[in-house]
Copies of this chain bind each other. A is one copy, B any other.
Amino acid sequence: MKISVPRESVDSETRVAVTPYSVSELIKLGYEVCIQASAGDKSFISDDLFKKSGAKIIKSSAELLNDASIILKVASPSLDEISLLANKSVCISFFQPTIELDKVSAMQKSNITGMSMHLVPRTTLAQKMDALSSQANIAGYKAVLMGSTHMSVYMPLLMTAAGTIRPAKVLILGAGVAGLQAIATAKRLGAQVEAFDVRPEVKEQVESLGAKFVEVSSESDDGVGEGGYAKETSEDYKQKQQQLIKEHISRADMVITTALIPGRKAPILIGKDVVELMKPGSVIMDLAAENGGNCEITKKDELIIHDGVIIDGTSNVAATMPVHASELYAKNILALVKHMTKEKNLNFDMNDEIISGSTFTHHGSITHEPTNNIMKDS
């Protein structure tokens, strides 16, 4: 069976879905691996290295794709690419089926099995295949580095002959994988780190990294109504919370937002008015830029300066660290393919939770419920 890895067609995509290591493992699993020429260039993997690991290097897309059983990609395939794919082939990539509806239709029609790394269920067993985590981790790490390069102040406390430098205040909104790694990295650099997330259980995790969780403390309850009937209405509480976060944002030297929910528009966490409260020279790293951004002003893949505040909308942050991003992504993909392989053969078992969960088109039908619903609506 043939596995094909095309060169990424999106220009800003520096990652590649396989590495020499994963190629040799795939071959061990019984596959033939074909890679398009210069597919690994941006990840500093030469065709030679791929060849040494046992892959075949193919120049033309058509030749590469038309008889492939499995196609491994990073970004979702273009319509052109889809048109080249064989009937019943399996195409794995970061695909947002609820958004890329035209591509879903195309794949459905061509009877292609579409799988998305976004859809891999987050169960214990699927952790190895959780590319969302591995890439979000990079994003969180890198966001701090990029943000601190934008910043016009130091991160750590420094007491020097020319005066004492106060540590920078870094606020992380959304403490998922990316947010937690951002917390850890900013802490390492010596900043004062605070974080907020709507999920209350995250508080413990934030604190387990030595950062402060921003929350409406019971002390700030105005003191009124101590008799017991003072239990705050949820609305009231939320408003207080909003207010509190606003205050923390306005004091921060850097805010990193990570509330990116794949396949959906990102929630607005920082309005324009709040940006204008911020100090000139402060930085917003918006990791949700891909899906519209958590900041009202964010523009995807642009660096905007609004009222002195720098807003970085780099959407594909993981791609800025191609070597490790590809290495980890390739391992995730490898684990998924391994999971789908039985005795040197593809065993596409739709009863398997991981396989069915990750699949959005199969045998000519759309198997992803939310996508189906949207398709019907439109």
Of A58-66, A209-217, A317-325, the one contacting chain B is: A317-325
Q: Any chain B CB within 8 A of the CB of A148?
A: yes
Of A72-80, A158-166, A340-348, the one contacting chain B is: A158-166
Query: Roughly how many angstroms separate A152 CA and B19 CA in the complex, as a whole number?
Result: 15
The one of B152, B321, B327 in contact with A43, judged by C-beta atoms closer than 8 angstroms, is: B152
Point out the residues of chain B lying under 8 angstroms from A308, CB to CB: 44
CB–CB B328/A160 < 8 A: yes
Query: Roughly how many angstroms separate A329 CA and B190 CA in the complex, as a whole number?
Result: 22
CB–CB A281/B44 < 8 A: yes
Query: Roughly how many angstroms separate A104 CA and B189 CA in the complex, as a whole number?
Result: 42
Chain B nearest CB, measured from A283 CB (Å) = 12
The one of B148, B321, B325, B329 in contact with A145, judged by C-beta atoms closer than 8 angstroms, is: B148
CB–CB A149/B152 < 8 A: no
Chain B nearest CB, measured from A180 CB (Å) = 12
Closest to A282 in B: B44
Query: Roughly how many angstroms separate A151 CA and B14 CA in the complex, as a whole number?
Result: 13
CB–CB B151/A149 < 8 A: no
Chain B nearest CB, measured from A24 CB (Å) = 14
CB–CB A321/B160 < 8 A: no
Q: Which of A130, A134, A279 has the most CB of B within 10 A?
A: A134
Q: Any chain B CB within 8 A of the CB of A137?
A: yes
Given A162-B331, A328-B162, residue A322 in contact with residue B145 (CB < 8 A): no
CB–CB A321/B162 < 8 A: no
Q: Which of A142, A162, A323 has the most CB of B within 10 A?
A: A162
The one of B146, B154, B323 in contact with A321, judged by C-beta atoms closer than 8 angstroms, is: B154
Query: Roughly how many angstroms separate A160 CA and B153 CA in the complex, as a whole number?
Result: 32
CB–CB A152/B44 < 8 A: yes
Q: 1/0 contact trace for A125-156 toward B, CB 8 Å?
A: 00110110110011001100110110111101
